[in-house]
Chain A
Amino acid sequence: MLRLGNDIVDLACGYAENKYSDKRFLFRVFTQKERQVIASSHDKTRIIWSLWSAKEAAFKACIKQFPDTFFSPQQFSVTERSLQQLIVGTTEKLVGTLDYFQHTFTIIWQWQMNYVHAVGILTTKTLAYDHIIHSSVFNINENCTNVQHLRCSFSSVELESIFSTESLQTRFYAKAFLYTLGYPEQIELIRRTKPHQHRKRLMYPQLSMGNVVLRNHEISLSHDAPWAAIAVMPPTPGINSLSGD
């Protein structure tokens, strides 16, 4: 079993840059230990959004395995060891851990000057993630493509769950990335709906081909401001089977 989630946060916007002074937000979202690390850090913005993106990524992975999970940020707590590694703050990539009750998630953080990207992995196995999880970040404002042209790239099923231009652009870049990994052009990125409290709720993104959902292909998408991010794990021998549904 392996479940994947990801989250990207734009660090260059005013909202992200000023959040360290919002005490109510900090108390609502972060554990005491996490707040202590934030307070002692020389780069509070980086720490805050690294922690937040890890919680979001882990939650997105968790809800795939445990659909009744609700997002309670303090319950998704970055481990002490990873907090200490985050304080150092000089690396562009870090692999750490986060706990949610009895579950431990591996978190892969990547930083560039203007964003932090976290991939969260829920698994019972110890893995060399770099070899099996593929991720990429795109600036959707570069290579601007006509929206109508973008829409032509998607099937009607895919378009059912695309609600914004940013979502359209994110999926466009995600599919381009999937092609570089060897996925065929017929691959679809869908989000099905499921009943939730007397209405329908969008599920997480999945890969589909020929109306068959590829359950053993893990994928997660995220976007924030100009950034779109994808994380994908194709079926890997010894981890999940090679067949779909």
Chain B
Amino acid sequence: MDRSTIFAKVVTIVTPYSKNQSALKAINEQSHFFNDLEINSARLVDIVLALEDEFTISLDDELADKIQTLGDAINLIIERIGLPNAQVG
């Protein structure tokens, strides 16, 4: 699984939780969950749980707290699934 595949999966998970259509259209790894996508902390819990399911990983609260942007989520996923050659941005 490469980084772009992970990105696509994360976007699929995140999309239903954001009300900001213009931010979703321009979504990229720098997109900020709170500031850009307007996803509040309760919905972020749902997203973390969905990421755990999708990638079969565990993300405790301390790790989840590090997720500010989509890039953060992807880096964490890569770290947790132990991809050897995926670029960590």
**Which A residue's beta carbon lies closest to that of B49?**
A24
**Beta-carbon contact of B49 and A15 below 8 Å:** no
Give residues of chain A (21-35) contacting chain B, Cβ–Cβ below 8 Å: 22, 24-25, 28-29
Residues of A within 8 A of B42 (CB): 9, 15, 19, 52
Kindly list chain A residues whose C-beta atoms are within 8 Å of the C-beta of B41. Answer: 56, 71
Among A29, A163, A197, A201, contact of B45 (Cβ-Cβ < 8 Å): A29
Q: A15-B43, A28-B49 are in contact. Are A166 and B65 (CB under 8 A)?
A: no
- Contact A164 B61, beta carbon cutoff 8 Å: no
Please tell me which one of the listed residues A22, A74, A75, A224 contacts residue B40 in the complex, with CB atoms under 8 A apart: A224
* Chain B contacts for A75, CB-based, 8 A: 61
Query: A163 to B35, Cβ gap below 8 A?
Result: yes
List A contacts of B43 (CB < 8 A).
15
Residues of A in contact, count (CB < 8 Å)? 23
A136 CB-CB contact with B under 8 Å: no
Considering residues A19, A56, A71, A74, which has the most beta carbons from chain B within 10 angstroms of its beta carbon?
A71
Complex Cα spacing A143 to B20, Å: 22
Quote the shortest CB–CB distance from B21 to chain A (angstroms). Answer: 13
User: How many angstroms between the C-alpha atoms of A76 and B41 in the bound complex?
Assistant: 15
Contact B45 A28 (CB under 8 A): yes
Alpha-carbon distance between A222 and B66 when the two chains are bound, in angstroms: 21
Please pick, from A29, A71, A164, A201, the residue contacting B38 in the complex, using a CB distance under 8 A.
A164
In Å, the complex CA distance between A202 and B45 comes to: 20
User: Which residues of chain B in 27-84 are interfacial with respect to chain A, using CB atoms and an 8 Å cutoff?
Assistant: 32, 35-36, 38, 40-43, 45-46, 49, 61-62, 65-66, 68
Name the distance in Å between B31's Cβ and chain A's nearest Cβ.
11
What CA separation (Å) do A197 and B61 show in the bound complex? 16
Residue A66 is within 8 A (CB to CB) of chain B in the complex: no
A235 interfacial by beta-carbon distance below 8 Å: no
Contacts of A28 in B (CB 8 A): 45, 49
Interfacial chain B residues near A164, Cβ < 8 Å: 20, 35, 38
Report the Cα distance A15→B66, complex, angstroms. 24
Q: Mark B7-33, 1 if CB is under 8 A from A, else 0.
A: 000000000000010000000000010
Question: Is the C-beta of A101 less than 8 angstroms from some C-beta in chain B?
Answer: no
Check: A89 CB closer than 8 A to any chain B CB.
no
Q: Which of A51-79 contact B (CB under 8 A)?
A: 52, 56, 70-75
B residues near A, CB below 8 A? 20, 32, 35-36, 38, 40-43, 45-46, 49, 61-62, 65-66, 68
13 sampled A-B residue pairs with Cβ under 8 A:
A9-B42, A19-B42, A22-B46, A25-B49, A28-B45, A29-B45, A70-B61, A70-B62, A70-B65, A71-B65, A72-B62, A73-B45, A164-B38
Which A residues form the contact surface with B (CB < 8 A)? 9, 15, 19, 22, 24-25, 28-29, 52, 56, 70-75, 163-164, 166, 197, 201-202, 224
16 additional A-B pairs beyond A166-B38, A202-B35, A224-B40, beta carbons within 8 Å, are A9-B42, A15-B43, A19-B42, A25-B45, A25-B46, A28-B45, A52-B42, A56-B41, A70-B62, A70-B65, A74-B61, A75-B61, A163-B36, A164-B38, A197-B66, A201-B68
